[in-house]
Amino acid sequence: MASLDRSIVANVPVLAGLNAADLDTILRDARSVRYPKDSSVFDQGAEAHSFFVLLHGHLRVEKTTPQGQQIVVRYVSAGELFGVAQAMGLKTYPATAIAVVDSVALSWPSKAWPQLIGQFPALAAGALQTVGNRLQDTQARVLEMSSEQVEQRVAHALLRLAKQAGRKVEQGVEIDFPISRQDVAEMTGTTLHTVSRILSAWEQQGLVEGGRQRIVLRDPHRLFGLAENHGKPDGERR
Amino acid sequence: MASLDRSIVANVPVLAGLNAADLDTILRDARSVRYPKDSSVFDQGAEAHSFFVLLHGHLRVEKTTPQGQQIVVRYVSAGELFGVAQAMGLKTYPATAIAVVDSVALSWPSKAWPQLIGQFPALAAGALQTVGNRLQDTQARVLEMSSEQVEQRVAHALLRLAKQAGRKVEQGVEIDFPISRQDVAEMTGTTLHTVSRILSAWEQQGLVEGGRQRIVLRDPHRLFGLAENHGKPDGERR
DNA sequence: GGTGGAATTTGCTCTATCGCAAGCCCACCG
DNA sequence: CGGTGGGCTTGCGATAGAGCAAATTCCACC
């Protein structure tokens, strides 16, 4: 199992820069767990007992306000470190992680973290980068929400999803897990209705192809144009 | 100078958990620099040659879109670590930092970072927490922008500013540095005009007191009510 | 093969907020 | 001490997009 893990773990960015022996040491403390579709890996507000690396599948990370409003913070794909709440100084998870397809993750007890980074500085550096990237993404999202209209934001979101979890199909690029209009709305700060309208319009223009919890980008390039331009109907881009 | 620095640095969270000897070692590589009001500490897109700890003053960190739209990412107060772009794996600064009052910062060459965290794991842990907190704040901001109306967002923003950089005055709590309506707008994803209208209304209700680049919260408690409630005109809060 | 509920689509109305335009006021400069 | 420019206020449309309602489609499961 350790050797199996080692090969799977080979392309986990945060563990890069560690030699085989160190990797073994680290993996010794890990447990591999299966999460069936729609089950939660951890829940917002729960004690942050573990941190994880996703080996297989996709997770949706969502955050809920006291009033019940919800947003999708991000999607986690295989190879990513997640659930590092404790390392960031939190006692509880700030969000909920849900498997959107059957998934498998390695988990470590949070209390092993201080010792691990003491022993393997590369791990700390990796974690810092992971969190740093996440911060960049989130700030970019704030910038988008402040400066772009809904249509552009949706276009950006879909392109990002396609990049992160796109699967080439005959028709274009399909997002590789079930995702509803509601989910897209919660990623872009709008409503289910507006997303539906936008996708319908795009479908008519042959930009995307939709379905129940399914989105295929037929013309990513033209979509990108939409995302960049100020929504100008075409012809007078600057 | 080293001893002066050491006493100032005593309440820098990210350096807590280091003994005097280690602190000396770390401070040996640092330079102390003065940044006059309105000067920039670093610029978005410039090579990330240094990271910093703010000793004195306040900075505004802002990010600009290719199209020129701008947002205020956050304000930095004394004691905070900032400019850690390189540690997060970036080659260039993702934002611009500008002194809003005369300020002083310690700076280290970015290239010293890997060695420092190798030598002092506590430093890595501290940086991770700093960045983690920032991530939490930014995600909270996304949540706010998705779920709240402008008035609530402005209320929240002011309360946060008051907490971070509030100074008690006879009239209430004053934000301890010059901040324009435009700045508040760029923190909350709205426009100068809307912020002005909101503050005017609040001023009439005795909630705040305004001025040129100046905001005093006269009744933080009632403001908090505004921020929490769904903007209900009062009387039917739940 | 039928069926119930979730996901989606779509029309219509309503409004919060933007965008523009104009004028004001104060702090600082010369 | 008057001038001026930056910051602020305010009125008035215009509108993107939210909210509500209802119909439709599509599975998943019986």
Q: Do A25 and A112 sit in the same domain of this protein?
A: yes
The share of chain B scoring above pLDDT 90, in percent, equals: 81
- Could you tell me the CATH number of the domain that includes residue B223? 1.10.10.10
Query: What is the ipTM score, two decimals?
Result: 0.92
The minimum CA-CA distance between B55 and chain A, rounded to whole Å, is 23
From the list B59, B55, B5, B53, the residue with the least C-alpha distance to B27 is B5
Provide the sign of the torsion angle of the four alpha carbons A109, B84, A71, A45, taken in this order: positive
Residue B8: predicted pLDDT: 72
Q: Do B19 and B93 sit in the same domain of this protein?
A: yes
Task: Calculate the alpha carbon distances from A142 to A61, A184, B136 in Å.
Answer: 17, 16, 13
- B73 has a chain A CB within 8 A of its CB: yes
The minimum CA-CA distance between B81 and chain A, rounded to whole Å, is 14
Number of domains in chain A: 2
Q: Do A47 and A159 sit in the same domain of this protein?
A: no
Q: Do A122 and A153 sit in the same domain of this protein?
A: no
pLDDT digits (tens, 9 = 90+) for A42-81: 999 999 999 999 999 999 999 999 989 999 999 999 999 9
Residue A131: predicted pLDDT: 97
Take residue A41 and report the two structure tokens written for it. 């890996």
From the number of C-beta atoms within 10 Å of its C-beta (0-12, 13-18, 19+), residue A197 rates as: middle
Q: Do A109 and A155 sit in the same domain of this protein?
A: no
In a domain, B237, yes or no: no
pLDDT digits (tens, 9 = 90+) for B155-204: 999 999 999 999 999 889 999 999 999 999 999 999 999 999 999 999 99
In a domain, A233, yes or no: no
Residue A193: predicted pLDDT: 98
Q: Do A69 and A167 sit in the same domain of this protein?
A: no
In a domain, A22, yes or no: yes
Nearest to B146 among A71, A129, A138 (CB): A71
Residue that is last in its domain, among A87, A121, A144: A144
In a domain, B236, yes or no: no
Q: Do B57 and B7 sit in the same domain of this protein?
A: yes
For residue A31, the enclosing domain spans 2-144
Stretch A104-123: mean pLDDT, rounded? 93
In a domain, A209, yes or no: yes
Chain centre distance of CA B60: 7
* Strand C bases contacted by the protein (CB, 7 Å): 7-11, 16-21, 26-27
Residue that is last in its domain, among A124, A144, A164: A144
Q: Do B132 and B47 sit in the same domain of this protein?
A: yes
Which residues have a Cβ under 8 Å from the Cβ of B232 and sit 6 or more positions away? none
In a domain, A20, yes or no: yes
In a domain, B53, yes or no: yes
Q: Strand A81-82 relative to strand B40-42: parallel, antiparallel, unpaired?
A: unpaired
- Could you tell me the CATH number of the domain that includes residue B121? 2.60.120.10
Q: Do B95 and B130 sit in the same domain of this protein?
A: yes
Distance A114 CA to C24 C1' (A): 59
Take residue B104 and report the two structure tokens written for it. 């002083």
- CA-nearest residue of chain B to A132? B88
Residue spans of chain B under pLDDT 70: 1-7, 230-238
Q: Do B139 and B160 sit in the same domain of this protein?
A: no
Of the residues B84, B143, B190, the best mutation for testing chain A's interface (the one with the most A CB atoms within 10 Å of its CB) is: B143
Q: How many CB pairs lie under 8 A apart between chains A and B?
A: 125
The string of DSSP letters for chain B reads -HHHHHHHHTT-GGGTT--HHHHHHHHHT-EEEEE-TT-EEE-TTSB--EEEEEEESEEEEEEE-TTS-EEEEEEEETT-EE--TGGGT-SB-SSEEEESS-EEEEEEEGGGHHHHHHH-HHHHHHHHHHHHHHHHHHHHHHHHHHHS-HHHHHHHHHHHHHHHHEEEETTEEEESS---HHHHHHHHTS-HHHHHHHHHHHHHTTSEEEETTEEEES-HHHHHHHHHS-S--SS---
- Quick check: B114 and A129 CB within 8 A? no
Q: Do B8 and B108 sit in the same domain of this protein?
A: yes
